[in-house]
Amino acid sequence: MTSHSGKVRDVLTDVDHVGIAVSDLEAAVEHYRRAFGVEPDHRETVADQGVEEVLFKVGTSYIQLLAATGPDTPVGKFLAKRGEGVHHIGYRVDDIREVLTHLKELGIPLVDQEPRPGSRGTTVAFAHPKGFGGVLVELVQEPQP
């Protein structure tokens, strides 16, 4: 992905969040509160992703604690298979459609062919972990002001 100047452009503008799968959301929130003195910044159930999430702000990024709304959801299956732990990395981008097109051109396997709504009014899309060495990657575009 190059600009007119021929230089590689900044595609990823920030780490938006680190997603962490937990089996007991309230216990995890309490643990982060006690350990780091952080208070939840946002809480939301994203029904189509099958998750309830709590965000703690860290600088310009977030810690995203994720609990499954049921066993047959991405996080529910992950917890059953692997247990609690880091689930995905969310990278912030300016133009999610442009980045998705770029990844498609490179033949990188995607979960989402098209962007979809995420939490906080964001637009998100996932690339498959098999395309990034076992790391589930989420692209996140901030809500337009």
Give dist(CA 88, CA 110) in Å, integer: 14
Cβ atoms within 10 Å of 124's Cβ, excluding its own: 20
- Partner whose footprint covers residue 134, from Co ion, ligand CMX, none (CB < 5 to 8 Å by kind): ligand CMX
Site of tokens 């190059």: 2
Site string for ligand CMX, 60-79 (x = CB under 6 A): ------x-------xx-xx-
Whether 95 contacts 141, CB under 8 Å:
yes
User: Which of helix, strand or coil describes residue 36?
Assistant: helix
Nearer to ligand CMX, 8 or 61 (CB): 61
Residues that bind ligand CMX (CB under 6 A): 19, 46, 49, 51, 66, 74-75, 77-78, 81, 87-88, 111, 118-119, 126, 128-129, 134, 136, 138
